[in-house]
Structure 1
Amino acid sequence: MFRRIVPRDRALLALLAEHYLLSSSQIAAAFFDSLRIAQRRLTVLHRLGVVHRFAYPNAEHTAVPYLYTLGPVGLQLYPDAYDDPDSRYGRAPRNALERARRIAASATAAHLLGVNQFFVDLLAATRLPNASGARLVRWWSEQHATDVYAQSGIRPDGHGIWHAHEHTVGFFLEHDRGTEDLPRVVAKLRAYARLAEFGPRYPVLLWLPTLQREANVLRLLAGVNTPMPVATAVHGPDPAGRVWTLTTDLPAGAAAAGGCTSCRPSTAPAPAPTPAATTTDRHRPSRLVPHPDGISSGCSPRLRRTRLTAQVNAALAPRTADRRGR
């Protein structure tokens, strides 16, 4: 049995142990050259009991992709897998089937799939012909990151370290589905600010569902100083692309106008950058330094949308006040 599980299968099982569930299309994007090839291999793994699969019905009664989680064999290989997305300290499931049922019934399943899609899109970007060494160095789930950074009280939807274009940047993800009021979304930044006082100042990425919601967030955060960079972008297929705008990177008057002027057409001349956007800003690259473990923890703001790692200034020296945040 175990001889039939190849390294690619083990890599998939490690993700399912950490992140609960992935759709067939997500698995195909992360590991396979086509959806058909992925489906064939997943069928084999399902028949061997390596993975469980289920699907949610929809109102149109059309075909929906299977969602995969660990089966009994997969759980034998990863006995320390997270077992309940809704309760971190509840009773452990008796078997893999009970674990799968918990995940399928979870109120956070749709949110988990959205968060996982963000990271899968990063993985898919590493497999492109022009990836040039890009890689997702780390992908931690909400529960993993919450445990590691418990002292600060943060609860990110995910934590990652992304390497591309000869730069490496760590980040925390807040995946927004438009289900919370904006003040509550913005209030989450307080815990990240506490972490930044003694740990890494990783950028906080606000991944938002619409341009209008992004504009509202940027308006709320205009003029708000935080010890870590905060960047926004709208849900899309390429989070590694030129899609990010830092909250300190708005021209004068943009907040009053309703958000970032770089993401909407305008007939008026572009206003001059605010004088406050200088190297005195705590967000600016002259003040953002790598984490002591060698991972850069900041973004360099630009007026236009930038890539996740295009902003990193890798030449900066570590700050002496940094302490362990891992």
Structure 2
Amino acid sequence: MARNVPALPNQPDRNPVPPRPRSDEAVLASLASRLTARDRWLIRLLWEHHVFTTPQLADLAYPTQDRARHGMLRLARLGVVESLRILLPPGQGSAPLHHFIGPAGARVLAAELGIPFAELGYRRDRVLAWAYSPQLNHLVGVNGLFAALHAVARRDTAARLDQWWSEQRCAQTWRGYIHPDGYGRWYEGPTRVDFFVEYDTGTETLTTVARKLRGYAELAAADGVTTPVLIWTPSSSREANLNQRLAGAPVPVATAGPHAINVPGQGPAGPIWRVTGHHPGTPRQRLITLARFNHAPQDRR
């Protein structure tokens, strides 16, 4: 077994509790007949994970990027989302649209949660500040990794992304030990693998990355649960250097990156993960095979 965590609302709720009348009932009434279960699910995802690009939304909920664009345009007109195109430096082309939760979307979410809007903590300035944050590309990268897994699950009925925790939720849960960029639980059939994500952009020294693993080891010692750490790297050279530096890591670690994807349609679920400490020529492994590294006290019979 793996670390026990409460279930997240990661799937569209087709039978939501009707929202209670609130002071902004006019907004809610105008949206009641316009929002689908998919729309409400995306509102919840945007609240927890802050931002998605159009291709990521296609991975999550639409059959094509064109349908995703049209879907976001409709929600933007309703005030449910806000869509911005981030300006890239000259010569780098154009960025995809980035989508954030809008004021009306936040009001819908508060109603679904059964709390006053003020208690939700929504502030438009803070939401839109992500568009200017130096952490935007990092956050979009993390969300893209999980969105790609969800896309695999949409094509394969035996697969499922059962858990997807944001950096903030992880920090609140494991404060004092670790600060991962995400936590996930992936199923293929009855087999599941729990994992932490460290999204490496290459800006930290190898020593800094290695030092983070101490916290994971301390957490495993404290609660008796071992969970592999997945490090997503920006290049093959960075991955090779990390693998060399992390040999003998105190917890199971596997590395990969865009350069390792060679099976169309499988993305992060495919045979792209290199377990640290193995010979460089060892074949890469599928995500689900890392389940062998998940251990909890009740597993040790």
TM-score when normalising by structure 2? 0.78
Q: Deviations over 1:39-87 (max 9, x none)?
A: 111111000000011111122484432100110111113349xxxxxxx
Cα offset, 1:245, TM superposition: 1.4
Q: Which runs of 5+ in 1 are unaligned?
A: 81-91, 251-259, 263-302
Separation of aligned partners in 2, 1:180 and 1:136: 29
Q: Which residue in the other structure is 1:319 paired with?
A: 297
1:318/1:115 CA distance change after superposition, 3 Å: closer
**Other-structure match for 2:139:** 112
Equivalent in 220, 226, 232 of residue 201 of structure 1 = 226
CA–CA distance in structure 1, aligned partners of residues 39 and 235 of structure 2: 35
For the pair 1:239 / 2:247, whether they are aligned, the reply is no
Shift of 1:225: 4.6
> Are 2:72 and 1:42 equivalent residues in the alignment?
yes
Q: Counterpart amino acid of 1:193? A: A
Name the CA distance, whole Å, in 1 between partners of 2:184 and 2:287: 11
Q: 1:321 to 1:50 in 2, by over 3 A?
A: same
- Counterpart AA for 1:65: P
Aligned: 1:248 with 2:285: no
Contact 1:204–1:231 (8 Å) recurs in 2: yes
- The answer as to whether partners of 1:55 and 1:65 remain within 8 angstroms in 2 is yes
Instruction: Give the drift of 1:2.
Output: 2.6
The CA distance in 1 between the partners of 2:295 and 2:233, in whole Å, is: 33
1:308 and 2:287 equivalent?
A: yes
Change (3 A) 1:204 1:61: closer
Indicate yes or no: 2:120 matched with 1:66. no
Residue 71 of structure 1 contacts residue 96 of structure 1 at CA under 8 Å; is this kept in 2?
A: no
Which gives a bigger RCO, structure 1 or 2 (Cα 8 Å, sep 6+)?
A: 2
The amino acid of 2:297's aligned partner reads R
- Is 1:125 equivalent to 2:155 in the alignment? no
**Equivalent in the alignment of 1:176:** 200
Cα displacement (A) at 1:35: 1.0
Distance 1:169 1:54, change over 3 A: same
Shift of 1:212: 1.1
The equivalent residue for 2:241 is 216
Aligned Cα root-mean-square deviation (Å):
2.5
The corresponding residue for 1:101 is 128
Structure 1 vs Structure 2: percent identity of aligned residues? 35
- CA distance in 2 between partners of 1:317 and 1:69 (Å): 37
For residues 110-155 of structure 1, the C-alpha deviation after alignment (integer angstroms, 9 at most, x for no partner) is 1000111100110111122xx1420100000111011111142x00
1:232 alignment partner AA: T
Q: How many residues align?
A: 255
Q: Does 1:13 align with 2:48?
A: no
List per-residue Cα deviations over 1:239-263 (Å, max 9, x = no partner).
110011111323xxxxxxxxx2x2x
State yes or no: 1:144 paired with 2:144. no
CA distance in 2, matches of 1:48, 1:139: 27
TM-score, normalised via structure 1 length: 0.72
Distance 2:131 2:76 in 1: 16
